Structure 1
């Protein structure tokens, strides 16, 4: 349980590793509108940007809190926040290496130099994180904000594929798909930005005969 974490915007990202690594609660200090601020320990004002940074992960987890708790009780989970140096962070869940990266648009790669572009507005900001649950040998539940998530075979196999990416919700403990993400939305990783989204990722390995 994380009680009384700071309420300035840069603390909101730690919601994701808290729930992804076994936490049962995340409570920022001083979110009530009393006019009291504990800056520099916390926020100097509760402006819309500060409130939105905390509201987004709560809005994502809130509708599935019981489902997440049920899954996390029996299945592996993982979570990470954007580190201060902004470097990618990775882990292995089952047969897949999962990488979280930061400061990217939803389309394209970091190494592209043939197409002029500029970083997104949040690229240098201390925002972003992801939480993942391994539902089965081939299925993963993924949620986050301001992060790009990539799945690659953990052992260097070249025949691993993302079979499907479904956005959806849980109803009475059962997964309900609301839409399937297409290739443009998945070719460059799974990109979460500024809205509550819950994804079920199905992976697989094909046999080359």
Structure 2
């Protein structure tokens, strides 16, 4: 996107949110594609991912404006408005997460926490070697990878539809759009 007087820049993602996001991406990639299940490194990376999510949950209440859950929590009314705008061929600009993106973010974080819990339980005497728990852990991991793939694809598609570089915004913290897109707000 060109940089001119007709462009609007909005600082959206604070450094904590960006570091959290890319650190969590790294943890997920490492644990799913690189590190062997059951290895100590797998456990450390998994617990690190869980700790990141816990920190992000706290940040959702005390962090910057666009990081706070109150700013983007996907209420039924917000979801209806957003989906109606998409169905009508329009785009209701959301400075932070749109309601569907917020749902995805919450689902991804819930999966990471569930993976951390099922991983931890597998190390306890009560659940050591329980095949059903391993199967749940593996199903959660596969679900996380599938949803992460959908999340990445949606960021690309929605970024193109809305003419906002969403991936760039998660790197720089700044969303850029033209005045025409914003309705000259």
Q: TM-score, normalised by structure 1?
A: 0.24
Larger radius of gyration: 2
Task: Indicate the structure with greater strand content.
Answer: 1
Task: Indicate the structure with greater helix content.
Answer: 2
